[in-house]
Amino acid sequence: MWHSHMNLPLIYKNVTQILLGSVLNHDDSVNDRSEGSALNFSYSKTRQLWKAEYDEHFSTYGAMFRGIPPNGRLLNQSEMTNLISKVVQVTLKRVQIMGSGSDHLGKFKLVFLEKNQFWSTLNAYGKKTLVDLSDELLVLKGPNLIWEDAGSFDKSVHCMDYHELHVQLKETHSVFFMKKKHLVLGDCNIAIDKLAYKLKNGQTEIQEQLTLGLDTNLQLRLDMKVTLKQLGSVELQLVPGKYEDCVMPEDAAQLWGPIVLPHLPTGVVNTCSVASHRLRGHDGQTEFTCRVVHSLPLLMSAVQIFQHDRMVAVAHLIGSDQIPKPDEVSC
């Protein structure tokens, strides 16, 4: 019945009330098992009574339920979903150009693109050149100002990048030798990552209506649908760290996270061997940190994963009392 108050609380309540007349007082926040502590005394007494009653040792190993994960200590399910890169399909059900400036548009096109521009290194003349590798996803041509069922395209939304969908209104002019020149009359950005973040709790589709400013006298109204096509992947580069000795007090929850630790005897310093490994994104920025902690005084090892400054996952050693017996595990 060890930890049955966590595993089957209602049954535990009914049985203890029938047998004992009331529910025992449980304080799961207390974990001090040092010599002379209340838990240590209770455990010793329980072993004696168990041996006297059943003529067998009380302590035996086996799997047990330790309660649900601590709320508020790590990321919740919605925040974890936001970390996952996604491929979404953007469907433009209706597109409209509005404003006083729309009456004076000539030959134009409305371009939805994935913007990718950067400055090249210095050339022989000491100048930098703007390199444009932007990818046009959809082009709508005038003179229409309203497009119904305008089209759709796929867009990748990465978990660690701020992704926007860029929209440009371009006017076309013919110059010498029939060469066309495009003049940008206005532009705007659609925060597609924020729209994708609304896909929560198994939701695969959302409808959105947006009104964006292209220019001082031009607006763009969009009726759009964002559909989750698939969960993507992110390539990360591991930069190994070196192990160093440091002191991590066992009662410092901000260092250990939701790991229950025993209290060390007075005067014993919890000297740990710690290494921090970094995971970098494609831009070279550190996105995740993996901290590995080994504590000989506590007989504890832990792996902590941080996204920037927040712990998102943790794993740690468990005692033999939580490991199932060999005959309880099926292959």
Q: Are residues 212 and 243 in the same domain?
A: no
How far is residue 37 from each of residues 32, 49, 273, measured CA to CA in Å?
7, 19, 28
Mean pLDDT across the stretch 315-324? 74
What are the tokens at 120?
């090249």
Q: Are residues 167 and 300 in the same domain?
A: no
Q: Are residues 132 and 239 in the same domain?
A: no
Alpha helix segments (H runs only) across the chain: 4-7, 9-20, 38-54, 77-83, 192-196, 253-256
Q: Are residues 90 and 41 in the same domain?
A: no
Domain's final residue, options 212, 231, 250? 231
SS3 111: strand
Indicate whether 63 belongs to any domain.
no
Q: How many CB atoms lie within 10 A of CB 100?
A: 10
Residue 1 pLDDT level (bands cut at 50, 70, 90): very low
What are the tokens at 309?
């400054």
The CATH number covering residue 142 comes to 2.60.40.150
Q: Are residues 40 and 166 in the same domain?
A: no
pLDDT digits (tens, 9 = 90+) for 124-178: 676 777 777 778 899 999 888 999 999 999 988 875 555 688 999 988 776 666 6
Q: Are residues 224 and 258 in the same domain?
A: no
Mean pLDDT across the stretch 13-20? 87
Indicate whether 74 belongs to any domain.
no
**CA–CA separation, 146 vs 281, rounded Å?**
40
Res 144: pLDDT:
87
Q: Are residues 255 and 316 in the same domain?
A: yes
Q: Are residues 213 and 299 in the same domain?
A: no
Indicate whether 146 belongs to any domain.
yes
Q: Are residues 93 and 191 in the same domain?
A: yes
CB–CB of 112/164 below 8 Å?
no
Going 49 to 51 to 55 to 59, the CA torsion angle's sign is positive
Q: Are residues 240 and 258 in the same domain?
A: yes
**CA–CA separation, 213 vs 195, rounded Å?**
18
Q: Are residues 13 and 111 in the same domain?
A: no
Indicate whether 298 belongs to any domain.
yes
- Range(s) of the domain holding residue 49: 4-54
What are the backbone angles phi and psi of residue 194, rounded to the nearest 5°?
A: -70, -35
Indicate whether 262 belongs to any domain.
yes
Mean pLDDT across the stretch 96-106? 87
**CA–CA separation, 242 vs 131, rounded Å?**
39
pLDDT digits (tens, 9 = 90+) for 239-291: 999 999 999 988 888 888 888 788 888 888 999 999 999 998 766 788 899 99
Domain's final residue, options 231, 260, 284? 231
Res 226: pLDDT:
93
Domain's final residue, options 197, 231, 265? 231
pTM: 0.56
Residue 221 pLDDT level (bands cut at 50, 70, 90): very high
Number of domains the chain contains: 3
**CA–CA separation, 280 vs 91, rounded Å?**
33
**Of 86 and 221, which is predicted with more confidence?**
221
pLDDT digits (tens, 9 = 90+) for 170-197: 887 766 666 667 788 889 999 888 888 7
Residue 27 pLDDT level (bands cut at 50, 70, 90): low
Q: Are residues 222 and 305 in the same domain?
A: no
